[in-house]
Amino acid sequence: MKQRVLNVVGARPNFMKIAPLMVEYRKHPAHFDPVLVHTGQHYDDNMSQLFFDQLGLPKPDVYLGVGSGSHAEQTAKVMVELEKLMLKDRPDLVVVVGDVNSTMAGALVAAKLCVPLAHVEAGLRSHDRTMPEEVNRVVTDALSDYLFTTSEDARVNLLREGIDDGKIHFVGNVMIDTLLKLKAESLKSEIRQRLGLTGKYGFVTLHRPSNVDVRETFAEILSALDVIQKELVLAFPVHPRTKARLEEFGFWEEVSRWPNLKLIEPVGYLDSLCLMTGATVVLTDSGGVQEETTVLGTPCLTIRVNTERPVTVTEGTNTIVGASHARIVEEARKTIHGHGKRGRVPKYWDGRAAERIIEVLRQRK
């Protein structure tokens, strides 16, 4: 049976996850007829188009153009548009990746239309329901027929929620498929020269609402970055949510005067990998960056109180430091003095996760 597979993406971290699958479908034209749908959750060129170009993604077959909004608005808009599309298109399978609002919206529409659903990156749990992504993960997994996991702990989480073991497939990490494919290419990036990063430097990304939407928390994190930038140059591509908060809270002017903190626009995937590879330390609250630094062997300090990706801590280079000034500075100093955490690459983070997923999907009756 040739399967028409509707692949739903919407936000920056979705693009590197779907890219290796799009390549694999094309290797099996007798089995798959893939359709790529971009919801438009992220729409700035440097949050979307740039990634399509650098990851070699095909132009989306359908662009829903939903844009920004509150959680309910954004989720609802994706659902309304996707439902129209699926009623017309009648796919045999819907594939969603990650944990953003577009992921959960795609899952809900598929489930209500009784279209089989696959979730790539299933079973991650921070066990923190105040995190919007955690709600998206729980809902998406509850509705999925195929749950593709990146680590063994994910299976345990899913079984605890009553999900049938037969639906769970430990396949590895598609994000790392993309990293391994493009690592050599990323090292040709001239971003370091452009930013004048000739010696040691750190790389910073922040965008979690719990960090940047709360004035006091954001101020505390920034005060730690202020201390660190006096000892280590920091490159900080600023996510649009974070930029808006820096301005709204009146922090932008002061922070942009700190001499060794380089506030820049969000960078493309290749520049991001290049910067992470050469960094002495990465300070982040990103999900994907915790995984990428583990594979690159770069010490990562996660500015959160928990992680849904514990394998990056138990096996990789990740340390959870919370949002306290003292701990962030203390751990950053360790890395500056050459005592950053080392680790190993988790099982199946080997560049072949998409291949394993396609193997499972090919067997569908």
Which parts of 223-242 interact with ligand UDP (CB under 6 A)? 237
Residue 358: count other Cβ atoms within 10 Å of its Cβ. Answer: 20
Integer Cα distance of 207 and 131 in angstroms: 12
Instruction: Tell me how far, at minimum, the Cβ of 246 lies from ligand UD1, in Å.
Output: 12
Q: Is 207 a catalytic residue?
A: yes
Element (H, E) at 216: helix 215-229
Order the strands of the 233-237 sheet from edge to edge.
261-264, 233-237, 201-205, 281-284, 300-302, 318-320
Alpha helices, DSSP H only, in 71-100?
A: 71-89
Among 2, 26, 27, 44, binds ligand UD1 (CB under 6 A): 44
Residue 294 in the binding site for ligand UD1 (CB under 6 A): no
Integer Cα distance of 111 and 31 in angstroms: 23
Q: Which of 207, 325, 337, 339 is catalytic?
A: 207
Tokens of 171: 């396949």
Residue 13 in the binding site for ligand UD1 (CB under 6 A): yes
Residue identified by tokens 């680590």 is: 151
Instruction: Tell me how far, at minimum, the Cβ of 248 lies from ligand UD1, in Å.
Output: 11
Among 38, 207, 352, 356, binds ligand UD1 (CB under 6 A): 207
Residue 239, helix vs strand vs coil:
coil
Tokens of 46: 């440097």
Site string for ligand UD1, 119-158 (x = CB under 6 A): -------------xx-------------------------
Which parts of 245-274 interact with ligand UDP (CB under 6 A)? 266-269, 272
CA distances (Å), 214 to each of 226, 242, 248, 255, 356, in order?
18, 11, 11, 17, 41
Residue 292 in the binding site for ligand UDP (CB under 6 A): yes
Query: Of ligand UD1, ligand UDP, none, which one does residue 269 interact with (CB within 5 to 8 Å by kind)?
Result: ligand UDP
Among 9, 32, 36, 42, binds ligand UD1 (CB under 6 A): 42
Residue 202 in the binding site for ligand UDP (CB under 6 A): no
Spatial neighbors of 38 by CB under 8 A, at least 6 apart, are 9, 10, 48, 60, 62, 63, 64
Report the residue number, 85 or 291, with the smaller CB distance to ligand UDP.
291
Catalytic positions are: 207
Residues that bind ligand UD1 (CB under 6 A): 11-13, 41-44, 47, 68, 74, 99-101, 132-133, 207, 239-241, 244
Residues that bind ligand UDP (CB under 6 A): 12-13, 16, 205, 237, 266-269, 272, 286-289, 292
